[in-house]
Structure 1
Amino acid sequence: MAIVTRVQAEAFEPGAELSQFTQNASAAGAIVSFTGLVRGQDHAGRALTAMTLEHYPGMTEAQVQAITEEAARRWPLQAVLVIHRFGRLAAGEPIVFVATASAHRSAAFEAADFLMDWLKTKAPFWKLEEGADRAEWVAAKAEDDQAAARWR
């Protein structure tokens, strides 16, 4: 089984990543992908211009790898790709990409959902949302913790 994780500052093209992933998982019966973007609004509806993601080098990569390996243990996957960016990203830019391949769609969907829930709550990233006249650190949200708890 192929597991690839990348934590990077560089931009990526989701379509190209999915195309390459699909070529490498040609024996799969199902491929599911998710692309997360930097929102143009915060949860209060205020305009955002950018988000800065900070991380702890070494620890972040190890945790993203561990989360991905956990998904591979839980579901019969043939391949997994996780890309997570750090640094300053403008609104609309891709921030995270997850792709899973399995013989069956339910495993591919569930694994991708699990990965996003656990990346959101367990990967050590700190997010600073920037608007025209403000910058605020994003606090953990109870609904994210509740979503992740269903996988315990």
Structure 2
Amino acid sequence: MNTAEQIKQFLNFLQPKLGQEVHVGPWLNIDQQRIDQFAAVTGDQQWIHIDPERAEKESPYGSTIAHGYLTLSLLPYLTESNHPDFFQNNYPGMKYRVNYGLNRVRFPAPVKVGANIRARTTIKSVEEVKNAVQICYLMTIEIEGEDKPACSAEFLARLYP
């Protein structure tokens, strides 16, 4: 099968899934150790993230909170896209995927230390681009027991046959 045929077949596989939630990931607890490790790696040492005593007294949240970029960086885990079976189950006929970028990233609610978060994934759009298929996923990271999500982002992936 040639590239054009593979792309057409894959587009036909995805079209019925447009607008549908295609995955709900596992809950992940955000503990202080994870927040501290992220702070150390990124150099973001703001007290609201790494000083539990001060955050309890001075923060409007009453505790430390995760960095927004920490929450965003957990998408591969939260979507289980690193699982060995993920690629074949979700991208039949494709050889590889590249992360193309993000659109409209927002952090509507803070993730307090000790909170559980998980990602919900909906396919927003699919299109053929430069001998590949581009998928736009709407990723929503929810906080257990909260009304507002921790993060909402449009994630763009390109898949190649």
Same fold (TM over 0.5): no
TM-score normalised over the length of structure 1 = 0.30
**TM-score of the two chains, using structure 2 as the length reference:** 0.29
Structure of larger gyration radius: 2
